[in-house]
Amino acid sequence: MTPRSPAVDWPYPVEWDQTSTIETDVLVLGGGVAGCWAAIGAARKGVRVVLVEKGATVGSGAGGSGCDHWESAATNPCSRISPEDLAEAMVKSHGGYGNGISHYIACREGWDRLVDLEAMGGKIRDTEGEFVGAEFRDETTKLLFAHDYEKRYTLRVWGTTFESALYGTCRLLGVRVLDRTMATSLLRGIGGQGSKIVGATGVHTRTGRFVILEAKATVLCMSRPSHFWLSSPEMPSVSEFRPPQCCGDGHAMAWKAGAEFTMMEKSARAEWSGTRCSPPHGTGNTHNTSDACSMLGAEGRELFGYPGGLMNDWALRTNLDGLYAAGDQLFASKRQGHAAATGHYAGRHAAAHAVSAPPLGPRPDQAKVEQDRIHTLVNGLGGVEWPEVNATIACIMQEHCGQKKSAATLAPGLLKLKDIRRNEALHLRPRNPPELIRVLEVLNLLTDAELVIHSCLAREASARYLLFERLDFPDLDPPAWNKFVTVRLVGSEVVEDGKALDYYGPLKEGYEALNADYLSGTNS
Residue pLDDT, tens place only, 80-106 = 999 999 999 999 999 999 999 999 999
Beta strands in 415-501 (DSSP E): 469-470, 484-490, 493-499
CA distances from 2 to 370, 373, 375, 403 (A): 14, 12, 7, 46
Q: Which CATH architecture has domain 20-356?
A: 3-Layer(bba) Sandwich (3.50)
**Cβ contact 469:405 at 8 Å:** yes
Q: Does residue 239 have a pLDDT over 50?
A: no
Residue ranges covered by each domain of the chain: 20-356, 366-482
Which of 161 and 39 is assigned the larger pLDDT?
A: 39
Q: Does residue 108 have a pLDDT over 60?
A: yes
Residue 92: CB atoms within 10 A of its CB come to 10
What's the fold here for domain 366-482?
Answer: Methane Monooxygenase Hydroxylase; Chain G, domain 1 (1.20.58)
Q: Does residue 481 have a pLDDT over 60?
A: yes
Is the model's pTM score more than 0.85? Answer: yes
Tell me phi and psi for residue 104, to 5 degrees: -65, -40
State pLDDT tens for residues 134-163: 999 999 999 999 988 999 999 999 999 998
H/E stretch holding 403? none
Give the per-residue pLDDT at 524. Answer: 58
Q: Does residue 9 have a pLDDT over 80?
A: no
Which of 130 and 272 is assigned the larger pLDDT?
A: 130
Q: Does residue 18 have a pLDDT over 80?
A: yes
Are 20-356 and 366-482 the same fold in CATH?
no
Highest mean predicted confidence (pLDDT) among 282-286, 363-367, 411-415: 411-415
Q: How far apart are CA 59 and CA 164, in angstroms?
A: 7
Q: Does residue 383 have a pLDDT over 50?
A: yes
Given 3-state DSSP classes, what are the helix, strand and coil percentages for the chain, each rounded to the nearest 5? 35, 20, 45
**Cβ contact 249:448 at 8 Å:** no
Strand order in the sheet with 309-310: 309-310, 261-262, 484-490, 493-499
Judged by phi (left if over 0) then psi (alpha if -120 to 50, else beta), residue 437 lies in: alpha
pLDDT band at 245 (very low <50, low <70, confident <90, very high): confident
Q: What is the mean pLDDT of the chain?
A: 88
Q: How far apart are CA 56 and CA 243, in angstroms?
A: 13
Give the per-residue pLDDT at 366. Answer: 87
Give the per-residue pLDDT at 186. Answer: 96
Which residue, among 448, 428, 450, has the nearest Cα to 438 in the 3D structure? 428
Q: Does residue 20 have a pLDDT over 90?
A: yes
Q: Does residue 406 have a pLDDT over 80?
A: yes
Q: How far apart are CA 410 and CA 430, in angstroms?
A: 31
Collapsing DSSP to helix, strand or coil, 68 comes out as: coil
pLDDT band at 382 (very low <50, low <70, confident <90, very high): confident
Q: What is the mean pLDDT of residues 201-218?
A: 96
